[in-house]
Amino acid sequence: MGSAMSHYKTNLRDIEFNLFEAYRTQDYMGEDPFAEMDEDTARHILDEIERFSVEEFAAGFVDGDRNPPVLENGEIKLPQSLKDSLNAYYDAGWDSLFRPPELDGVAAPLSLRWAVQELLVGANPSAFLFIGTLMAVVLNEVGTPEQIERFVKPALESNWGGTMVLTEPDAGSDVGAGTTKAIPVDEEAGIYHLEGVKRFITSGDHDAFENIIHLVLARPLGAAPGTKGLSMFVVPKFLVNEDGSLGERNGVVATNLEKKMGIKASTTCELTFGMDEPCVGYLVGGVHNGIRQMFRVIERARMLIGTKATATLSTGYLNSLAYAKERVQSADMTQMADKTAPRVEIIRHPDVRRMLMLQKSHAEGLRALLYYTAWIQDQRERFPEDEMWDKKDDFLLPLVKGYSSEKAYELLATSLQVLGGSGFTSDYPIEQYIRDTKIDTLYEGTTGIQALDLFFRKIARDQGQTLTALAGEVVEMVKGGPEELAVERELLGGALDDTQAHLGVMVGHLMGAQQDPSGIYKLGLHANSLLESVAEVTIGWLLLRHAEIALAALPEADSRDKAFYEGKVASARFFARHALPKAKARREAAEREDGALMTLSDEAF
């Protein structure tokens, strides 16, 4: 559960429940494409990574926040504590878990990789964001053979950093409005000079690694407007010679380091390309297919942000739980009139219990959603010819990213509330968790963008097929199961009906917009609430599945497992009763929408 020195409280028991009891990943370990992995090895990896994350990796969490990186003469210097965490990670060889076997990696299921990432990113999110393996892996998937030899292999051998470079100061989330230019130098060789300014680039510059590989979206001269005209370029901080050795500094410079509310140890940079020196970029894969190539990074980054939010809510809850079991204050509510009654631990007070179960049920719910999505990604790897797995993964990503980030931020305020005034001090980590987690609703597309993605790309474009398949599984559960969960199944069925009716209202607005374009506003006003309802129905279903497994396991369980399984049932019941009824209110609000908000004058706000 964490060492005395560490802020970080993990929930390995719940991670292992998801992997080995709920989704039974061990049933396909040992088979292609995960032939090298088995349950014993996976559990050993999790035990080791838990110890490592709590001890070495979490060690610089507070120091990096209090003594953040600094920009001096165009170079960014990291605090030593952050470098120590990163060096410990690479020295232990953990990066091999995230590489494919052909790059000396381990053929591990994605679900196990996400579990490892949950433990690491919860321990020290700023540090984890510096690890550049993802960029090398994506470049390995889409780069030319020469780019793989020149950039990918040395990047992995020498632990280079990596970044995704999309955002521009005037374009923000509207990536297609980007103006960074790519001027051809040798088109046949795919060599260009890049000119422009990018903003909010995570890990954009630092001195932890000897080189950084930037994957940059830019528009070649004469290319089409919008996202279709963007190409992706690999831009090394230091040019790489043909033999893999480092050459001179490339013309990409950090011209600003953002001062931020949270994740202060993460360097969020303005990068300027081609200011004093030419900035050499190499066309990725030798093809102009930038946005599609970049989406390989974006989708994994969105999953990582949902994982970060889940991990942080979990440790926030466990910190507040530990406090509630130790802090003695006030008499039991049944003895309030007796001034001589003994004082009790605050976990005995109804309002504190309510707050704890609110956190517990949602922390476990977000984790259930995360590992269900990871399980689906495993199936996609096992059965690549079956398109349904890819569609389900696509459908779930905005829920993992959008809902998890919103709920984690909201409920970390509840974690802090349990600690009272002490929570507001820097003596406890929760105030830093809140600051570090707010970014998750903004990273990789705001919640509003995730909600529009869910409706237009994942439901409307798919004609509801994936949603219908998922709803069918929920209906199967509603039809029957253990008597102890009858009320909860009924609540789940009602929430599913309300969510489908809410979706019907939205589709009506979409159809109506063909006659009256302003109808689309009504849809936009209720897209976020639809995302919430879809997420909560999915989580409610998953938690009830978990509760059924727990009920079946209880008769044989030892005392420690008995408490764990009773907690799983309690989480499912609380979530069903607390969260699922909200779908009805959201549906009713969508049905009553008259669009008046969009006709109100700007001055009236």
Poorest-confidence range of 241-250, 365-374, 437-446? 241-250
**Ranges of each domain in the chain:** 12-139, 159-288, 295-595
Per-residue pLDDT, averaged over 370-399, amounts to 98
Task: Give the burial class of 359: count Cβ atoms within 10 A of its Cβ; 0-12 exposed, 13-18 middle, 19 or more buried.
Answer: buried
Residue 215 amino acid letter = L
Q: Give the Cα separation of 296 and 332 in Å (integer).
A: 54
Q: Is-contact 218 166, C-beta < 8 A?
A: no
Write out pLDDT tens, residues 254-268. Answer: 999 999 999 999 999
Residue type, 442: L
Query: Per the structure block, which two tokens stand in for 550?
Result: 């727990």
Using only the alpha carbons of the chain, give its radius of gyration. Answer: 25
**Which residue's structure tokens are 């992997």?**
19
Burial category of 187 from C-beta neighbours within 10 Å (exposed 0-12, middle 13-18, buried 19 and up) = exposed
Specify the pLDDT at position 2. 43
Catalytic residue among 444, 488, 532, 548: 444
* Residues in Cβ contact with 463 at an 8 Å cutoff, skipping those fewer than 6 apart: none
**Residue 560 confidence (pLDDT) above 70:** yes
- Entry pTM: 0.97
pLDDT at 4 over 80: no
Q: For 126-150, what is each residue's pLDDT tens digit?
A: 999 999 999 999 999 999 999 999 9
What are the structure tokens assigned to 292, written together? 């599609």
| Closest-CA residue to 19 (of 109, 97, 120, 111) | 111
Residue 73: per-residue pLDDT? 86
Instruction: Report which DSSP code applies to 457.
Output: I
| pLDDT at residue 338 greater than cutoff 80 | yes
Is the Cβ–Cβ distance between 436 and 262 less than 8 Å?
yes
Please check the confidence at residue 63 and state whether its pLDDT lies above 80. yes
Is the predicted pLDDT of residue 546 greater than 70, yes or no?
yes
Would you state the CATH architecture of domain 159-288?
A: Beta Barrel (2.40)
Each residue of 452-472: pLDDT tens digit? 999 999 999 999 999 999 999
Averaged pLDDT for residues 10-33: 97
Average pLDDT taken over every residue of the chain: 96
| Stretch 483-502: mean pLDDT | 98
| Dihedral of the alpha carbons of 437, 442, 447, 448, in degrees to the nearest 10 | 150
**Are 268 and 201 within 8 A, CB to CB?**
yes
Query: 159-288 with 295-595: one CATH topology?
Result: no
CATH class entry, domain 295-595: mainly alpha
With tokens 């969105």, the residue in question is 302
CB 435 within 8 A of CB 312: no
Amino acid residing at 601: S
- In this predicted structure, what is the pLDDT of residue 362? 98
- Catalytic annotation present for 591: no
Rounded to 10 degrees, the C-alpha dihedral 127/137/108/130 comes to 0
pLDDT, tens digit, 9 for 90 and up, residues 72-120: 988 999 999 999 999 999 999 999 999 999 999 999 999 999 999 999 9
Which letter does DSSP use for residue 342 in this model? Answer: P
What's the angle, vertex CA 581, arms to CA 580 and CA 583, rounded to 5? 80
What's the average model confidence in pLDDT over 39-67? 98
Identify the pLDDT of residue 528.
98
- Predicted confidence at residue 5, as pLDDT, reads 78
| pLDDT score at 3 | 45
Helical packing angle, 582-592 and 486-512, nearest 10°: 20
| pLDDT tier, 554 (very low <50, low <70, confident <90, very high otherwise) | very high
